[in-house]
Amino acid sequence: MKLFEKRPGLRLNEDGLAEFTVWAPKAKFAEINIPEKNLRLPLTQDDFGHWTIQTNQLKKGDRYQVVLDKETERPDPASLSQPEGVHGISEAIDLNSFKWTDQDWKTPVLDDYIIYELHTGTFSPEGTFEGIAKKLDHLIDLGITAIEIMPVAQFPGERNWGYDGVSPYAVQNSYGGPHGLQQLVDACHGKGIAVILDVVYNHTGPEGNYLNDFGHYFTGKYSTPWGDALNFDDAHSDAVRTYFIQNALMWFKDFHIDALRLDAVHAIKDLSPVHLLRQIKIETDRLSTQTGKQHYLIAEVDLNDPKFINPLAKQGFGMDAQWIDEFHHALRTTAGEPATGYYSDFKGISHLAKSYQDAYVYDGQYSPHRKKFFGLKAEDNPGNQFIVFSQNHDQTGNRMLGERTSQIHNFEMQKLLAGAVLTAPYIPMLFMGEEWSETNPFLYFVSHTDPQLADAVRKGRKAEFADFHAEGEAPDPMSTDTFENSRLQWNLLNDAEHQTMFRYYKALIALRKQHPVLKRLDRGNLSVKFHEEQNTLTIHRWQDDKHLVCLMNFSAVSRLTSLPNLEKSWKTLLFSGDKQWNGKAEVPGNFATEAEISLPAQSILIID
């Protein structure tokens, strides 16, 4: 094995020997400092700029730092634990000491994923991994099969979405640290829930970012919204690629994570013969072959290019699935939200119908917002490669006031949006709290300690909303009130209306999991019809001799809709306007062939 293929950082072996590797080609001398022992351990350099040591003097629980050229003291760039935060000293820990109980766990196939995205700090009253674990029975009752945790790599302070992480290998100390995350994953697997972890390989945060002191982690060849791009294809890029590839493998091996959601992969700049994503997929598959454990890679990508999700054999990057923001945008404009900002590309129900059929709305057409022809068709990609939602952390938190659907739409439209997602031939994802119509916003928050940086974040947020013609002032991202106002209100489940919404989501999810048509993500067995003026849409899906129809009325008045011309009678499976869901309409339980149905305003009717 070549040295640069080794995992960076500290590994504690069973025989008490510590192995340490740090890439620091800029340094002429490097050592480990253990202040509590008043001990400095010189490192040995190789030809590739790596410094290494094997020693029995660095023990579990020791606090240590890397010293460059005898004067620059820095945290280990591959530290597993930062108990004093991003600027503090690193802690030597042994990830292998955790006693797992999930030996028989097998992650579900992607078709069976029903994802629940959550933010650790605001999901539970405790704001920790332990707090999540206490709520797992709620998620099981709801019908969730996988949770997706927003990034947990160490970030400045205790309040952050997680995309400002600067220590990719360290788990946020205020959430419970690495052992807290291991305990949560083990608990999830014990209750039949898979775990997806959001990771960020397109940039690192600004505060506490000491990577440049060590090596050539960034390149001036490309720029990103966050500054210089990470160096994945320039001189010295081998070690940088290894740093992130080994990080991905660590989550699978040492934390038993089932899937990674890779943030904004379109911002990963790499013209190497083997793109970083493709290499991560190759190494992930190799790991799965060794362990017999399936692991998935899910991309957030804004390019409508199926090469990201095409298999390796077809020269794709091999991502197993991707988020589809365009489904969200089409759905929200269909529901009547203004076509401003990036919504300006979306024409409501005609584009929603296209996303049901083709996943991508723009697959070669001219995009007015981008002012160019955009996208390629995803013709050979199955439904289980696309993840859809009516809200997520981005689409909620990147609104100036962080309004959830419950603050924008009435009760009936909320139920319709949920039905639109959960009847799609794609993997559905919920955002925490939507299942009970949470009324608190989800705002953007940080806790930077650098006053200039904090001020820059405030100004940046204000500029971000210029395209949406937002009036007023954005809440201060640095304020503790902004964070506290974003917490879920679990007590709302005691309220009758919120409990009704929860029961409605349960019924929808149960239907999706049980119905032979809904649980098969077959894009081929699908037809979609829409009426633009009436704002209605009909989805017909089938599997063998089983048929299912979803009738949706997004307008504010009742509309006449017709059923597919099939020689069969139909019965109601679920109707959002039913009185049991606080609706006010009566719908007969059976329909004759070719019947016309008066569908109440803002409702969905599911029949088979």
What does the alpha-carbon distance between residue 357 and residue 320 come to, in Å, rounded to a whole number?
A: 19
Phi, psi of 470 (to 5 degrees): -75, 140
Q: Are 130 and 180 in contact (CB under 8 A)?
A: yes
What does the alpha-carbon distance between residue 89 and residue 70 come to, in Å, rounded to a whole number?
A: 16
What does the alpha-carbon distance between residue 255 and residue 90 come to, in Å, rounded to a whole number?
A: 19
User: Which residues make Cβ contacts (< 8 Å) with residue 304, sequence separation at least 6?
Assistant: 326, 360, 362, 363, 374, 375, 376, 378
Residue 398 assigned to a binding site: yes
The first and second tokens of residue 543, run together, are: 């599997």
**Distance separating the N- and C-terminal Cα atoms of the chain:** 58
User: Which residues make Cβ contacts (< 8 Å) with residue 550, sequence separation at least 6?
Assistant: 419, 423, 538, 539, 541, 604, 605, 606
Looking at residue 398, what is its pLDDT? 86
Q: Output the CA–CA distances (angstroms, integers) from residue 222 to 23, 199, 226, 269, 303, in the order listed.
A: 22, 21, 11, 7, 18
What does the alpha-carbon distance between residue 430 and residue 390 come to, in Å, rounded to a whole number?
A: 8
Residue 328 assigned to a binding site: yes
What does the alpha-carbon distance between residue 210 and residue 208 come to, in Å, rounded to a whole number?
A: 6
Residue 289 assigned to a binding site: no
DSSP per-residue string spanning 202-270: S---STT--HHHHS--EEEEEEETTEEEE-SSSTTHHHHHHHHHHHHHHHHHHH---EEEETTGGG---
Residue 261 assigned to a binding site: yes
CATH number for 522-607 (one of 2.60.40.1180, 3.40.50.2300, 3.90.1150.10, 3.40.50.1970): it is 2.60.40.1180
The first and second tokens of residue 424, run together, are: 């799609």
Q: Output the CA–CA distances (angstroms, integers) from residue 48 to 73, 187, 237, 541, 580, in the order listed.
A: 22, 41, 11, 57, 67
Residue 327 assigned to a binding site: yes
Tell me which H or E stretch contains 429. strand 427-431
The number of residues making up the chain comes to 608
Instruction: Give the amino acid at 348.
Output: G
Q: Are 431 and 117 in contact (CB under 8 A)?
A: yes
Tell me which H or E stretch contains 386. strand 386-388
Q: Are 136 and 190 in contact (CB under 8 A)?
A: no
The first and second tokens of residue 289, run together, are: 């072959």
Q: Are 384 and 424 in contact (CB under 8 A)?
A: no
| CA nearest to 231, candidates 192, 270, 197 | 270
Would you state the torsion angle of the CA atoms of residues 504, 509, 512, 514, taken in this order, to the nearest 10 degrees?
Answer: -100
Looking at residue 225, what is its pLDDT? 86
Residue 16: CB atoms within 10 Å: 11
Phi-psi region of 188 (alpha: psi -120 to 50; beta: other; left: phi over 0): alpha
Residues of the chain with pLDDT under 70: 1-5, 462-471, 588-590, 592-594
Q: Are 333 and 346 in contact (CB under 8 A)?
A: yes
Residue 487 assigned to a binding site: no
| Burial (CB count <10 Å: 0-12, 13-18, 19+), residue 523 | buried
Strand, coil or helix: 388: strand
Residue 418 assigned to a binding site: no
DSSP per-residue string spanning 465-484: TGGGT--S----TT-HHHHH
DSSP per-residue string spanning 437-466: T--S--------S-HHHHHHHHHHHHHHTG
Domain residue ranges of the chain, discontinuous segments joined by +: 522-607
Residue 448 assigned to a binding site: no
| DSSP β-bridge partners for residue 551 | 538, 605
Residue 446 assigned to a binding site: no
- Our CA angle for 209, 49, 229, nearest 5°, is 40
Q: Are 603 and 412 in contact (CB under 8 A)?
A: yes
Query: Is 467 labeled as catalytic in the residue annotation?
Result: no
Q: Are 120 and 175 in contact (CB under 8 A)?
A: yes
Catalytic pick among 263, 305, 345, 434: 263
Residue 395 assigned to a binding site: yes
Looking at residue 1, what is its pLDDT? 43
Residue 551 assigned to a binding site: no
Residue 264 assigned to a binding site: yes
User: Which residues make Cβ contacts (< 8 Å) with residue 250, sequence separation at least 6?
Assistant: 7, 169
Residue 472: CB atoms within 10 Å: 8
Tell me which H or E stretch contains 498. helix 496-514
Residue 35: CB atoms within 10 Å: 13
| CA nearest to 208, candidates 106, 87, 342 | 87
Catalytic pick among 300, 363, 434, 435: 300
Site of tokens 């017999």: 292
Residue 573 assigned to a binding site: no
Q: Are 369 and 345 in contact (CB under 8 A)?
A: yes
Residue 33 assigned to a binding site: no
Phi, psi of 90 (to 5 degrees): -85, 160
Residue 396 assigned to a binding site: yes
Query: Is 300 labeled as catalytic in the residue annotation?
Result: yes
Residue 503 assigned to a binding site: no
| Burial (CB count <10 Å: 0-12, 13-18, 19+), residue 183 | middle
Residue 129 assigned to a binding site: no
